[in-house]
Amino acid sequence: MPKLLYARPPMDVEEERKVRKLAGARHAPADWIMRAKMIAASWGGKRRSAVRLKRAAVVELYTHPPACTTVICADELGPVIARTFPPAPGWSPDGHRIKAPLEYSRGTDKLWVYGALRIRDGAEVTCCAPSRNSDGWIQLLAQVAGANRRGQIRVVTDNLSSHFSAKVRCWLARHPRIQQVFIPKRACWLNMAEGWWRLLRRAAFAGQSFVDTAEIAYAVEMATTQLNTNANPGCEDDRHHPPAPSAASSCTAFEERRTRRQGPGKVVLGVRVEVVGVDAPLLEVAGRA
């Protein structure tokens, strides 16, 4: 459903000056600066795709990836400690929830699981490392490059410091076909790898007992292989094809759900963004059916 993101005109010159000054500030609260930038961009004639720059760029990669480009979502899971994991939620044959005794034992070893999900077909690449640092991230990027040998690679990830450290930037300079795309802060739902971790936990950890990290790494490897058997195989240079109508219901992660329908064909949106210190709301989201 199309929506229009706009801001009302400034009430006077002083209000416009304050908002534009806040948009260029560096030491003000981050949410104030973000909203001031959105308002200033709207005053400049830009609309939704230009105001929400980072989010629009990530969604565009998912829905309309560039030609000969592979889109990857990467993330970390952990720390995973060697212990006994409870079984996956489920129901017993007599209709009761499966219960497991509480287990408080913990091992001394731990590791981090790095994962990269290929959006085109759902194939995953995983690796394990004893800590979450630049070395582990570079190891994952190297495996991504090895699994996708043709075309450009765009890696969608979060703003963790180890993702853009000096060591990582030097490695990326030697591998120019890999480019990182960072999601906005407080928008982890844009990283499609977050949902894949639930599948891995259920396949690798649920109901298992581990004595050391070697067993955890082996379980992650076996679970990744098992989950990849359900992924649709594809070639590295294939273009993204829109989903079939029967699978349209699975592509609703990026639809705005803050809507309220009143009668046939009429949608009312009540999303308003305000800047502290300004009496009237400056930014509104209007929808049309």
- pLDDT single digits (tens) 53-83: 777 788 888 888 888 899 999 999 989 998 8
Q: What percent of the chain has pLDDT over 70?
A: 72
Q: Has residue 20 got a pLDDT over 50?
A: yes
Which is nearest to 180 in space by CA: 143, 153, 142, 146? 153
Q: Has residue 274 got a pLDDT over 50?
A: no
Q: Has residue 30 got a pLDDT over 50?
A: yes
pLDDT of residue 117: 93
pLDDT of residue 5: 57
Q: Has residue 283 got a pLDDT over 50?
A: no
More confidently predicted of 148 and 245? 148
pLDDT of residue 211: 86
- pLDDT single digits (tens) 239-249: 444 444 443 33
Mean pLDDT of 222-233: 84
* Confidence tier at 259 by pLDDT (50, 70, 90): very low
Q: What is the pTM of this model?
A: 0.63
The domain ranges of the chain are 3-59+252-287, 68-228
Q: Has residue 136 got a pLDDT over 60?
A: yes
Instruction: Write down the architecture of domain 68-228 according to CATH.
Output: 2-Layer Sandwich (3.30)
What is the C-alpha to C-alpha distance for residues 273 and 213, in angstroms, rounded to an integer?
47
